[in-house]
Structure 1
Amino acid sequence: MDRGEIWLVSLDPIAGHEQSGKRPVLIVSKASFNKLTRLPVVVPVTSGGNFARTAGFTVSLEGAGTKTTGVIRCDQPRTIDMAARNGMRLERIPDAVVNEVLARLDAILS
């Protein structure tokens, strides 16, 4: 599990307005953290997210050359147990997209 990889996981159960269902997520935490804890920090990928799009909290995968489509929701980071959620690695996204996601997260969390 490395930063920049997209995995398919089930995000259920959820509470409130959190993203739900089986969907792709982007790992944003460092590989060293993921290896130590087995609990990567991820952000969901969605085809919706109108509020997040309008508010500037998303990064689009359009034109990134990935099989996964949609937008990455930087406003919903969470730590998940990949094994318990039957995670499956799908692909790796370009570093430029990862860096844009990290910049959005930094703006939200700093």
Structure 2
Amino acid sequence: MVKQGEIIKINLNPERGHEQQGYRPYICLSHEIISQVSNIAIFAPISNTKRDYPFYIPLKNTVTTGKVLLDQLVAVDYNARQYVSVETVDNDLLEELLMKVRAIFQKSS
């Protein structure tokens, strides 16, 4: 089971349009109870984009490089695809990611 804060490499092909393609890193952001009950998890892709954007959060203290793209969350049945566990981020980074991703789901005024 993939745990919250874990970075995995997974291939989500086939994808369409502007969706990221290929075997690439994703970080699990959902609570582990989601995986236990439904066999899916919510992931954010990691990219080496040079663009700056409030929801592109640079990785810190990790072997994996790049930015977590919090505005491109995906629900994945990771058991139905081949994946490799890479590493788990530290608690400070995980807290920052979760705090910022909450803003995406706040009610607009």
TM-score (norm. length: structure 2)? 0.89
Please name the residue that 1:66 is paired with: 62
Q: For residue 75 of structure 2, what is the amino acid of its counterpart?
A: T
Query: How high is the sequence identity, in percent, across the aligned residues?
Result: 29
Provide the aligned C-alpha RMSD in A.
Answer: 1.2
Unaligned runs of 5+ in 1: none
Paired positions, count: 105
**TM superposition shift of 1:108:** 1.0
Alignment counterpart, residue 100 of structure 1, candidates 93, 96, 100: 96
**CA distance in 2 between partners of 1:18 and 1:97 (Å):** 24
**CA distance in 2 between partners of 1:96 and 1:20 (Å):** 29
SS at the partner of 1:106? helix
Please name the residue that 1:57 is paired with: 55
Unaligned runs of 5+ in 2: none
- Shift of the 31–16 alpha-carbon distance from structure 1 to 2, 3 Å rule, reads same
Please name the residue that 1:78 is paired with: 74
Q: Which has the larger radius of gyration?
A: 2
- Shift of the 29–8 alpha-carbon distance from structure 1 to 2, 3 Å rule, reads same
TM-score (norm. length: structure 1)? 0.88
**CA distance in 1 between partners of 2:12 and 2:87 (Å):** 18
Q: For residue 60 of structure 1, what is the amino acid of its counterpart?
A: P
**TM superposition shift of 1:49:** 6.0
- Map 1:1-110 onto structure 2 (within 5 A): 1-48=2-49, 50=51, 53=52, 55-61=53-59, 64-110=60-106
Contact 1:59–1:97, Cα closer than 8 Å, also in 2: no
**CA distance in 1 between partners of 2:50 and 2:22 (Å):** 14
**CA distance in 2 between partners of 1:4 and 1:75 (Å):** 17
**CA distance in 2 between partners of 1:90 and 1:67 (Å):** 9
Runs in 1 of length 4+ with deviation above 2 angstroms? none
Q: For residue 86 of structure 1, what is the amino acid of its counterpart?
A: Q
